[in-house]
A and B are shown apart, each in its own frame.
Chain A
Amino acid sequence: MSTSPSSRDPILEVRDFNLVFRVDVHRSQSWRETFVNLASSPIKALIDTRDSHQVARNLNLNIYAGERVGILGINGAGKSSFCRCVAGMYAPTSGTIKVHGKVRAIFDTAVGIHPELTGRENADLLVEFLYPRANDKRAIVEEALEFSELGTFVDVPYRHYSKGMQARLCLSVISSRPSDLLILDEVFDGADASFSRKISGRVLDMIRKSGAVIFVSHSFDQLAMVANRLLVYDKGTIHYDGPVEAGIHDYKSLIGY
């Protein structure tokens, strides 16, 4: 890891964070349509008819070294959007997000970078992108390929892989090294049952060695296993922030489970 913060130094500081998406399902998505709309009714075309969808409302949050923060919330509550903001993929509408250290965010585990290239070559690329500062990239690739148990398939083009094989390769690479702040958005999905058990141990090990973790999941069991703090996210606000068991109970009563 690049930094070694003390347990009371926040790794993530979120202040007055707001995220608003402007949504219009009727908005034209082509120049041709825009031109036709402008020509047929110029005034209507120039009026902004988009609706606002507030994904985060005045969030304030600190995450400290050693914390493994689970996030629970119904689909569309804004959990992934919040994580994407922390990862620097979305810009906040207002407020600030400060990460002290290096953040690594993973939102899908069955993605190959170049389908025409072999599994080994895709692993090379994934390592280049996920561990850009590592001095032992070759060792990471070899160890991840060994762990994936793909055997001779590592030299077969990635486009021939089944979904399960893609997940094996990808999970093996992404779970190779810890990070200062690790964001995992539903990462256990995809692999077959036997490999899931094997990879769970490796992902848990990576989580334990990382500075802090944000872990999004709908699985109460996984959250209970991974997290030591739980956030229940609802309509852009943090509805609950505290111990995991009580948080799961709060979430269940929120959704009428």
Chain B
Amino acid sequence: MRHAGAIYWSQIRAMTIANLKSRYRKTVAGFFWVVLNPLIMFGVQAFVFRRIMKIQIPNYSMFLLSGLLPWIFISQSLEMTTSVFISSGPILRSFSIHPLVFLAAQLLDNLINFTAAFLMLYVPLWFYNPPNIAGLVLLPISIAVLIIGVLGMSWILATSQVLMRDTRFMLSFALNIGFFLTPIFYPREFVPPQYRFLSDYNPIFRLIDPFRYSIYQYDLLQFARAIALAAGVALASLAAAVLLWRRKETGVYLAL
């Protein structure tokens, strides 16, 4: 007898492979295009902020990488998953399949793109700045917490999108604003103290912050503090998603 967790994992894996096949079958360059997007974003921003704006941060490429790639993963994941319950609606109404399978598959699909882009950027930078091994060891913890947080947020948004059909437009608007208000291309220390609440209470910044202390400026104490806050945000968003789902499950199926 297979355990329920093993069954869900098998379904998520099958759906992720199907998503990847479906996307990249028509275009061989499809995968490279998806990975190219963050690479171009990174290259342009590194050029603008370092060469034109002349932002004074040591090893700016690594600094930008530690904030920008998690941001791209979060924003792309949220945008990709918000409509997933609606696009899977006919299947969800036809068979008793847990909707989270479709959401998790979309997230895993994006994680593969994120990992590829991350390695393509991060490994070449080692030649300029050798990585801190201890920080590198802590990186999977940052990624695991990030995934839990994004899963919770995605679940809330996908549920909301079924009930309120302009959720994805609101999300797009919020992400555009959030990009400038979240310390991604500038450090939190640049923000005047009276405005620091904008980053301190920003859940996305909390999920990104541990990456800084594991790959850019390794500091175990700072990392421990950042990961504890990130874990708090991740678990709170997952708990909120579960509560919302329990309250709205029937309404979601009716609205699909």
State the majority secondary structure of interface residues on A. loop
Instruction: Please measure, in the bound complex, the distance between the C-alpha atom of A121 and the C-alpha atom of B19, giving whole angstroms.
Output: 11
Q: For residue B101, which residue of chain A has the nearest CB?
A: A129
When distances are taken between beta carbons in the complex, the residues of chain B under 8 Å from A108 are 90, 93-94
Query: B14 on the interface (CB 8 Å rule)?
Result: yes
State the majority secondary structure of interface residues on B. helix
Whether A105 lies near B250 (C-beta < 8 A) is no
When distances are taken between beta carbons in the complex, the residues of chain A under 8 Å from B11 are 128-129, 132
Query: A59 on the interface (CB 8 Å rule)?
Result: no
Whether A133 lies near B167 (C-beta < 8 A) is no
Whether B18 lies near A32 (C-beta < 8 A) is no
In A8-52, the 8 Å CB interface with B consists of 21, 28-32, 34
Among B2, B95, B97, B164, which residue has its beta carbon within 8 angstroms of that of A31?
Answer: B164
Count A-side interface residues using an 8 Å CB cutoff.
34
Q: For residue A133, which residue of chain B has the nearest CB?
A: B2
Whether B94 lies near A106 (C-beta < 8 A) is yes
Among A31, A87, A107, A116, which residue has its beta carbon within 8 angstroms of that of B22?
Answer: A116
Whether A34 lies near B91 (C-beta < 8 A) is no
A113 and B164 in contact, given A21-B254, A84-B253, A125-B18 (Cβ under 8 angstroms): no
Query: A111 on the interface (CB 8 Å rule)?
Result: yes
Instruction: Please measure, in the bound complex, the distance between the C-alpha atom of A103 and the C-alpha atom of B95, giving whole angstroms.
Output: 11
Whether A130 lies near B95 (C-beta < 8 A) is yes
Whether B249 lies near A106 (C-beta < 8 A) is no
Among A34, A84, A109, A133, which residue has its beta carbon within 8 angstroms of that of B164?
Answer: A34
Task: Please give the distance in Å from B87's CB to the nearest CB on chain A.
Answer: 10
Q: Mark B1-39, 1 if CB is under 8 A from A, else 0.
A: 110000100110011001101100110000000000000
When distances are taken between beta carbons in the complex, the residues of chain A under 8 Å from B91 are 111, 113
Query: A74 on the interface (CB 8 Å rule)?
Result: no
Task: Please give the distance in Å from A209's CB to the nearest CB on chain B.
Answer: 20
In B163-211, the 8 Å CB interface with A consists of 163-167, 170
Instruction: Please measure, in the bound complex, the distance between the C-alpha atom of A133 and the C-alpha atom of B1, giving whole angstroms.
Output: 7
Whether A111 lies near B170 (C-beta < 8 A) is no
Q: Mark A81-112, 1 if CB is under 8 A from B, else 0.
A: 00010011111000000000001111111010
Q: Interface of A with B (CB < 8 Å)?
A: 2, 21, 28-32, 34, 84, 87-91, 103-109, 111, 113-114, 116-117, 121, 124-125, 128-130, 132-133
Supply 11 A–B pairs (Cβ within 8 Å), ascending by A.
A21-B250, A29-B165, A90-B249, A103-B96, A108-B94, A111-B95, A125-B15, A128-B11, A130-B95, A132-B7, A132-B11
Which 8 pairs of residues, A with B, have the shortest CB-CB distance?
A108-B94, A116-B22, A30-B166, A87-B96, A132-B7, A128-B14, A90-B250, A111-B94
Query: Assuming A111-B90, A114-B18, what are 12 further A-B pairs, CB within 8 angstroms?
Result: A2-B1, A31-B170, A32-B166, A89-B92, A90-B249, A106-B95, A113-B18, A113-B91, A116-B25, A117-B18, A117-B22, A128-B14
Q: Interface of B with A (CB < 8 Å)?
A: 1-2, 7, 10-11, 14-15, 18-19, 21-22, 25-26, 90-97, 101, 163-167, 170, 246, 249-250, 253-255
